[in-house]
Structure 1
C-alpha cells in the first residue's frame, strides 16, 4: 500500500513517508481488518469476518460509503488535506489496483 497526500487538493500528490508493511491480503483480512470493522458498521456491504476467517472473499460488488473517521485517532504528524491510498493486489489471475480517496481535517466540518 502506498500513501500519498495533497495539501491543497490540486491532484498533485506527494508520497508520504509513513509506510504500511506489505502483508498477504488474506492475512490482513483475518488478522488486522477485524480490529477496524466497527468503523464501517452500516457503511458497507462487505461481509463480516467471522471467527473462522474470511478468505477467499466471496465474489461480489462491494462498496464503502460516507465513512467518517475520528480525526483524534489519526497521527498528529499526518498533514491535513486530501489523501490517496493505493493497494496493489497480485495473484495468479493477474493484478488489480484499489484506490481510496479521503480528506483529512481536524475540524468538525469541511
Structure 2
C-alpha cells in the first residue's frame, strides 16, 4: 500500500494525489496537518527519504523565517519544530514499501510506483 502524506491546500500535493489516482495504485492518504506526526514518525520518514532533517523543512514558510531562520538548530530541534509546526514539512511525501520521495515536482513519485 502506498502512503501519501498530503496537505489538500498545497497544489503540488494535489497534483501528486492526481498521479496516484490515475495510476490506479492502492494508496492511503494521511492528512498530516490534521493527524500530527510524532517525532518518531518524522525520524522514520527522514530515514526512508535518505535526507538530512533540514531537507524536509520548508524554509520559505513564515513560521520558519519568524522563529528559526537565524538559529543554529540540531537535527533533533529541527524535527521537534516540524512536529510542533507541521506547516514546515515539505510535501507531499510518498512512500511505497521501503522507498520514499518528496513529490517536488510531483512527477518524482513515478520513480517509486
Give the TM-score of the pair, scaled to structure 1.
0.34
Give the TM-score of the pair, scaled to structure 2.
0.34
**Of the two, which has the highest radius of gyration?**
1
RCO higher in structure (CA 8 A, sep ≥6): 2
